Amino acid sequence: MTRVVISDPTLRDGSHAIRHQLTTAQISSYCAAAEESGMPIVEVGHGNGIGASSLQLGESLLSDREMLQTARGKLLNSKLGIHIIPGFATIKRDLSMAIDCGVDVIRVGCHATEADITCRHISYARQRGREVYGVLMMSHMAAPDKLLEESRKMESYGAEAVILMDSAGAFLPNDVKQRISLLNEGLGISVGFHAHNNLGLAIANSIAAVESGASIIDGTARGFGAGAGNAQLEVLVAVFEKLNYSTGIDLYKVMDAAEYAEKEILEVIPFVKSTSIVSGLAGVFSGFAIHVNRVASQYGVDPRDIFFELGRRKVVAGQEDLIIEVATELAGEKDKG
């Protein structure tokens, strides 16, 4: 039976959906439930990763250290993971601290064409004896050959796996198959996939990834995440079991963890809204949804128009200030009309 490693970023990617306001009680209880289910990896932190709490990206209720120490206290067998983006996080201030807190798995992310910036962070984490993955975000914005080229860079820096992140939920299953197959054949390390559900395809795309050779798959409780959310964790576990893939996760207990998340953490269960569909079609980061909807209401413009214009400008995470610029321009055009 083929083994699939499930990584659970409910307490990281899901943080986008609640404005990064996770409490110690929520982190502690969810980690205990995930541990009980046999979850291989539980990812914790600000939605944009360790070191990303800011006025521009949203301030976390808790410090990175508080979140990691709380999670570490409950994760005895499950590995504690983090996401880290060079530029938001430094080695000295953030990565070193996280390792000192007992982090096991470090995922170093960057835009799909910028693997060069991950070299120092990946190398440092490997030197400290941690398991390290490279993450290519917004992977729909790069051609398959380019993704392979960037992945090989991460492999050369010491990454033990490369994860393709469909940050905008823009892929169709054939897109996933083409890219994962290429990486699986062209790399000497493991390949993983992180789906978003903007077009309602997160589960289908995750299955396509595994059938094409991916061995690491991300999923969140109830699909918890920005906009339409992520691949729904408990569904992934059930479907992989049905397809005869081994996850090592107790289905009933991961369902119990999802029940807790729904009752005590989620404000709204993610679903595919009109703006989610547009975000996927436009290829815009799912985490922009809250900001786009707020700014659209403020400026009296259609949020769908904002998404399509952001897509035309090829905007990526960290450029949230452009949402207001686009809304202002659209409002001006509306007034002229």
Active site includes 16?
yes
The number of CA neighbours under 13 Å toward the Cβ of 271 is: 4
Q: What are phi and psi of 160, to 5 degrees?
A: -95, -5
What value, to the nearest 5°, has the Cα angle with vertex 266 and ends 73 and 97? Answer: 35
Rounded to the nearest 10 degrees, what angle do helices 233-242 and 251-264 cross at?
160
Kind and range of the H or E element at 233? helix 233-242
For residue 27, what are its two tokens? 């982190």
> If you count them, how many residues does the chain have?
337
CA distance 208 to 131: 25
CA distance 135 to 139: 9
Given 16, 46, 140, 196, which residue is catalytic? Answer: 16
Kind and range of the H or E element at 194? strand 190-194
For residue 329, what are its two tokens? 């321009």
What are the residue numbers of the active site?
Answer: 16
